[in-house]
Amino acid sequence: MGTVESKIKVSIGLIAGGLFLFIIQDEPNGGSVTGISNMGNTCFLNAILQALSACDSFTKFLFALKPVQKNYEDYDALIVIELSNFLRSLTQGKNTNPEDLISALSNRFPYFGQQHDSHEIFYVIHEAMATIKKRSENSFIFDPAPENPLLGLMSTEIKCTKCLNKTTKFDSIFDISLIVSNSLCESFDYLHKPQVLEDFLCLKCSINSSIHAIRSMKSTQMLNEILKKYTNNPNNVEEKDLVKTTKTLATISNRICKFPILLFIHCKWLVSHSSGHIHKKREPMKFPHIFEVEKGRYTLKAVIEHIGGSMGGHYLTYKDFEGEWYQCSDLAVRKVTVQEVLMAQPYMLFYQLTR
């Protein structure tokens, strides 16, 4: 990388049991963006590493963790240490070989050498970082790490259509999985659209049914004990406490209450049929360079694209480096336009909050 001459790079992938080649013109880039060696079906890892290196909110958080490996089997610390070392090298434009990082990750993900998914390995990486983050929060020696830029909050509301009772729970989120549609905005709208739940066990309806059933019993003592339990604290009633259950129709809706600093979107391209057959959608999905949401504006920093079908393929990354866009396919790196990036079929999108 970084030489005056242009070179031809070849990436090798696998689709439906057969090898295929990607021949990409490797244009001079001044040493600013470096490719990653494929260690044998590791394009899924290379793609996520290139994408994460483009997100300075992520690398700032990662580099601030500074874990100390407590013992030989402290695999989470080892993963974070090797990931930090590798991304420092990558962001400095050095030639990189991920062998040490793969060795560390293999303790939690012993499947290298096989066809795997960038989304899968992201979870392994993030789980290790979350463990180290929690460790730093409970330490009196080290300063706590900054907030995880991937951390968001989502509410899930379930509403019974019979009694209109609502229950809401809140969950931390680190990524958002969206069903692919014509556009990213349309997929987000679908995420927030209420969906129908059939055979929903409504506790309020079941409590009312149970109380009605109990009143018909002859045991006054049993009636009083159960009525007291149901009426004093109905929120603590569980299914096993019910005398009679009532299932109804309900609606379930999701809402992102707190958007993260780094918005990581996973696009679900695979479609399952009743016959058991799974295929990958081929229709394009539009996504913007600038993504406006209710509480802020996000700028696209990286896109991971999967080329191939449901049985296998090749992962590559488009990443923003100092305002210029590059396509990274293992060792092959070439400069591209924003327009070319926006024509990709996105499997994973990384948007960083700008205001």
Tens of pLDDT along 55-75? Answer: 999 999 999 998 888 888 899
Domain identity same for 220 and 112? no
Is residue 114 pLDDT above 50, yes or no? yes
Per-residue model confidence (pLDDT) at position 109: 86
Residue 3 contacts by C-beta under 8 Å, 6 or more apart in sequence?
28
Domain identity same for 239 and 279? no
Separation of alpha carbons 138 and 132, rounded Å:
10
Per-residue model confidence (pLDDT) at position 245: 85
Domain identity same for 208 and 333? no
Is residue 252 pLDDT above 80, yes or no? yes
Helix (H) / strand (E) containing 129: helix 118-137
User: 314 pairs with which residues across the strands?
Assistant: 307
* Within-domain flag for 212: yes
* Within-domain flag for 228: yes
* Within-domain flag for 188: yes
Per-residue model confidence (pLDDT) at position 274: 62
How far apart, in Å, are the Cα atoms of 23 and each of 30, 257, 332? 21, 44, 9
How far apart, in Å, are the Cα atoms of 253 and each of 170, 174, 192, 201, 263? 12, 19, 6, 17, 20
Is residue 222 pLDDT above 70, yes or no? no
Q: Pick 7 or 275 by higher pLDDT.
A: 275
Asked if 302 and 51 count as a contact pair (C-beta separation under 8 A), the reply is yes
| Span 13-26, average pLDDT | 42
Domain identity same for 194 and 219? no
Per-residue model confidence (pLDDT) at position 275: 67
* Within-domain flag for 2: no
Query: Coil, helix or strand for 142?
Result: coil
Print the domain residue range for 219. Answer: 203-245
Beta strands 262-268 and 176-179 are: parallel
| Span 144-171, average pLDDT | 91
Q: Pick 72 or 97 by higher pLDDT.
A: 97
Query: Coil, helix or strand for 322?
Result: coil
Domain identity same for 216 and 270? no
Instruction: Compute the residue count for the chain.
Output: 355
Select, from the ranges 28-42, 115-129, 224-238, the one with the highest average predicted confidence (pLDDT): 115-129
Domain identity same for 130 and 233? no
| Span 95-117, average pLDDT | 85
Establish how many alpha carbons lie within 13 A of residue 202's alpha carbon, considering only the half-sphere containing its beta carbon. Answer: 23
* Within-domain flag for 1: no
Other beta carbons within 10 Å of 261: 21
* Within-domain flag for 317: yes
Q: pLDDT band at residue 123, thresholds of 50, 70 and 90?
A: very high
> How many structural domains compose the chain?
3
Q: pLDDT band at residue 140, thresholds of 50, 70 and 90?
A: low
* Within-domain flag for 195: yes
Q: Which of 18-22, 33-37, 251-255, 331-335 has the lowest mean pLDDT?
A: 18-22
Asked if 329 and 22 count as a contact pair (C-beta separation under 8 A), the reply is yes
- Single out the residue in 191, 222, 254 at which a domain terminates: 254
Per-residue model confidence (pLDDT) at position 28: 42
Is residue 36 pLDDT above 80, yes or no? yes
Per-residue model confidence (pLDDT) at position 306: 92
Considering the chain, what percentage of its residues have pLDDT values greater than 70?
A: 81
Q: How far is CA 58 from the centre of its chain?
A: 14
Per-residue model confidence (pLDDT) at position 234: 67
Q: pLDDT band at residue 27, thresholds of 50, 70 and 90?
A: very low
Is residue 10 pLDDT above 60, yes or no? no
Separation of alpha carbons 80 and 185, rounded Å:
34
Per-residue model confidence (pLDDT) at position 317: 98
Domain identity same for 90 and 157? no
Separation of alpha carbons 188 and 176, rounded Å:
9
Is residue 97 pLDDT above 60, yes or no? yes
Structure tokens at 247: 């299932």
Asked if 290 and 298 count as a contact pair (C-beta separation under 8 A), the reply is yes
Query: Which CATH number belongs to the domain containing residue 315 in this structure?
Result: 3.90.70.10
The 10s digit of each residue's pLDDT in 304-344 is 999 987 667 899 999 999 999 999 999 999 999 999 999 99
Domain identity same for 27 and 48? yes
Per-residue model confidence (pLDDT) at position 62: 95
Separation of alpha carbons 241 and 226, rounded Å:
9
User: 304 pairs with which residues across the strands?
Assistant: 317, 348
At residue 42's C-alpha, the angle toward residues 24 and 299, to 5°, is 70
Domain identity same for 114 and 215? no
Structure tokens at 311: 């049985």
Domain identity same for 160 and 213? no
* Within-domain flag for 342: yes
Domain identity same for 142 and 279? yes
Domain identity same for 227 and 124? no
Per-residue model confidence (pLDDT) at position 308: 83
Asked if 67 and 77 count as a contact pair (C-beta separation under 8 A), the reply is yes
Beta-strand ranges (E) seen in the chain are 7-15, 18-26, 152-160, 166-173, 176-179, 195-201, 247-258, 262-268, 270-272, 278-280, 290-293, 296-309, 312-321, 324-329, 332-336, 346-353
Is residue 347 pLDDT above 80, yes or no? yes
